[in-house]
Amino acid sequence: MEEDQSSGLAAETQERKHDNGVNDNPEDPGSNGISSLEQPLLKRSNTLTASHLAMVGAKVSHIESLDYEIIENDLFKHDWRSRSNVEVLQYIFLKWALAFLVGLLTGVIASLINLAIENISGIKMLHMVQLVREKRYWAGFFYFSGFNFGLTFVAAVLCVVFAPTAAGPGIPEIKAYLNGVDTPNMFGAPQLIVKIFGSICAVSSGLDLGKEGPLVHIGACLANLLSQGGSGRFRVRWKWLRYFNNDRDRRDLITCGASSGVCAAFRSPVGGVLFALEEVATWWRSALLWRSFFSTATVVVVLRGFIEVCRNGRCGLFGEGGLIIFDVSDVTVNYTFGDLLLVTLVGVIGGLLGALYNYVLHMVLRLYNLINAKGRMAKLTLALAVCVFTSAGLYVLPFSVPCTPCDPAFGAACPSNGMSGNFKQFNCPAGHYNDLASLLHATNTDATRNIFSTGTSGEFRLDSLLIFFAIYCVLGLITFGIAVPSGLFLPIILMGAAYGRIVALVLENVARIDHGLYAVLGAAALMSGSMRMTVSLCVIFLELTNNLLLLPMTMFVLLIAKTVGDAFNPSIYEIILDLKGLPFLEPKPEPWMKDITVGELAAAKPRAISLQVVERVSTIVHVLRNTGHNGFPVVDRPRPGLSELHGLVLRSHLVAVLKKRWFLPEKRRTEEWEAREQFSSVELADKSAKLDDVDLTPDEMDMWVDLHPLTNTTPYTVVETMSVAKAVVLFRSVALRHMLIMPKYQGPEISPIVGILTRQDLRGHNILGAFPNLANKKKAH
């Protein structure tokens, strides 16, 4: 992230006055500052400060912003004008080809992950049940716990040692990336590999987590690696990929990857696109909509192909269930006004429980951050301790409920001794089943299918559902945050489905809707109450359950739950973003931001460091060494006494000039062909070059650099009287990294630039730190 303009520039540089009349000293009366404003609105502190560290995965990292804005300098304009029709077609074809490959690979990897989880979990469950049937209870416990312990150990070691940023779901970091925050080491090959194998081990170990969040991260990793031709030493320098050597096209492809990941998790192509639009993407357009839909359609075709290939047990225990995971289409949905009152109750409870879940999880994550900060052994110990507690609870709790006789209406399906099935016999005699074991001794997908099952209103006892709801609430809270790949979707769905069934059982005398449908509505309500999604969740549940008649009630319950949850706290992902310190810009600015102008905000920072259009090499080196800024305003002086803003030059472009030693012995403006001979668009897109790699002689330090060809002559500028609220909307809407502030009045000896704002400057808590009096206005609002 761009450091504040107090980043250590030497005093003489702060106080000098450029030949073009730009004064860098804020104390000098000739500097403009906020002189065009009659007086400041609010009392302010001396500086606007911000932290540039954040938690990425489970690792503290230095963060930067991304350059989504098109840098319209002379070199870019020439490169764009000189592209032939063939090159333009290559670029368009490559975008669609990469979108197809993202969908194809995401579908293949998701199918293989599902295959591995189903078979590993199936083998574990079958052997454990066999030991229980033989009444070897302690052997069954140690086998079950040891198996889970080993799988968790592998998942945790992979995350702790090889890729700390692969821990967790990855969705908050993807949201931040698409919002304009560069989350380092998040989308590389190590993260992809660890996410795949870590997800398999973590989900198979019985931990209360899902593979949905990791699949979204896997799709984003694939998109990033494909757009860059690989990672590190294994990167392929393919000529066509030069078109994607920028943050904008990489952002679009990662959006396609996130959509594909959701589609692979829920087999929901439309829901995947809407999830990216509603939840993770900040910037959207129609062309991106079509490519995202193309990617998700490819995923569905691949998943369908794997299901057909694996039918009839040809892939072990994988392949059952078809394309619709939780099919409830066999139920006719008829409801009255009284049923709508019960559905309203489900929505209200979902909003309350979702807000409570977010609050408690926030507290747990704060505690886990303190534990994880102690080092690798602390992270590993925490993960294994949660695994032991989970295994003990899952194994022991089914023994606490009585066996239930099989209803003749259930037929041959009751009891079941296999991995799947609603009526698991477990420790019960012939003709009986253990309803709690049917939920706890299954993968999360199978448990959800069981609790969503229709026509089984008497299958689950109230005490069993209460135990299941309680243990999954506890496990969900203590599992998320440990150093393994994890997802929140299915744990929350299971908790919501359980309380939906509980409501149906408690009010069964007045509830006319099938209990399985109440479970679906409860899951939707809790998801909306915690994650605050509506449209995408509605479509995902529609595609999951294959029951269009349930759509009106699903919409109704989602809106109620979101409204109730919003009254208490933000969504779970917003809480995680804030906890990690990722500078995410919300779509709606705070109301009190209308009470302060960008000119006042800029005045709370040290004066902006400007460069001349033709600048000395020594000045450029000094500025780069003593600041961490990514961009510098470039000021021109067309005639004595008058200065004007020429544009903005990026740090990476200045380093490229120094590395190439493109210096002039005299102060002059170069011709267009001179810069084109030295630089290409590929070279200027490279951000890896560092100033430490450049060693200049004293004679070179005394030479000049013409910044005309490298300067973005069309940066986004605003007048100093604009409110911060309006600036935040503009900054986020067009995905800016820098916003230049112009004075309201211009004239001789007045600086053409008041200041420069970045993402950190527009964040609410940073503004409140610089303007303490705003805190009272915030409370009033």
**pLDDT score, position 218:** 97
Residue 647, phi-psi category: left (phi > 0), alpha (psi -120 to 50), beta (remainder): left
The helix/strand/coil state of 749 is coil
How far out from the chain centre does Cα 595 lie? 31
Instruction: Compare 93 and 753 and report the one with higher pLDDT.
Output: 93
Residue 411's pLDDT band, with cuts at 50, 70 and 90, is low
- For the entire predicted model, the pTM comes to 0.89
Q: How many residues in total does the chain contain?
A: 781
**pLDDT score, position 750:** 73
Instruction: Compare 411 and 27 and report the one with higher pLDDT.
Output: 411
C-beta neighbour count of 611 within 10 angstroms: 24
H or E stretch including 151? helix 137-157
Burial code (b: 16+ CB inside 10 Å, e: under 16) for 74-85 equals bbbeebeeeeee
**pLDDT score, position 12:** 37
**pLDDT score, position 421:** 60
Query: Comparing 50-54, 240-244, 579-583, 741-745, which segment has the lowest mean pLDDT?
Result: 50-54
Query: Comparing 97-101, 364-368, 583-587, which segment has the lowest mean pLDDT?
Result: 583-587
Contact 711, 648 (CB under 8 A): yes
698-707 pLDDT, tens digit each: 899 999 999 9
Question: What share of the chain in percent tops pLDDT 70?
Answer: 88
Contact 427, 404 (CB under 8 A): no
Greatest C-alpha distance within the chain: 100
Residue 619's pLDDT band, with cuts at 50, 70 and 90, is very high
> Cα(502)–Cα(510) distance, rounded to whole angstroms?
14
Residue 229's pLDDT band, with cuts at 50, 70 and 90, is confident
pLDDT tops 90 at residue 780? no
Q: Which residues contact 88 (CB under 8 A, 6 or more apart)?
A: none
627-672 pLDDT, tens digit each: 888 899 999 887 777 788 999 999 989 998 998 899 999 988 888 8
pLDDT tops 50 at residue 613? yes
Please report where in the chains the tokens 């954040």 appear, as a residue.
54
Instruction: Work out whether strand 614-616 and strand 611-612 pair parallel, antiparallel, or are unpaired.
Output: unpaired
pLDDT tops 60 at residue 23? no
> Cα(621)–Cα(619) distance, rounded to whole angstroms?
6
Half-sphere exposure of 192 (CA within 13 A, CB side): 20
Residue 174 structure tokens: 């993807």
**pLDDT score, position 766:** 85
Residue 332 structure tokens: 């006719």
To 5 degrees, how large is the angle CA 179–CA 184–CA 188?
105
> Cα(602)–Cα(743) distance, rounded to whole angstroms?
11
Instruction: Please compute the mean of the pLDDT values over residues 704-723 and round it to a whole number.
Output: 93
- Measure the N-to-C terminal CA separation of the chain; round to a whole number of Å: 30
> Cα(24)–Cα(6) distance, rounded to whole angstroms?
12
Q: Is 468 exposed, middle or buried (0-12, 13-18, 19+ CB in 10 A)?
A: buried
Please report where in the chains the tokens 């070059």 appear, as a residue.
689
To 5 degrees, how large is the angle CA 470–CA 474–CA 477?
140
H or E stretch including 634? strand 631-639
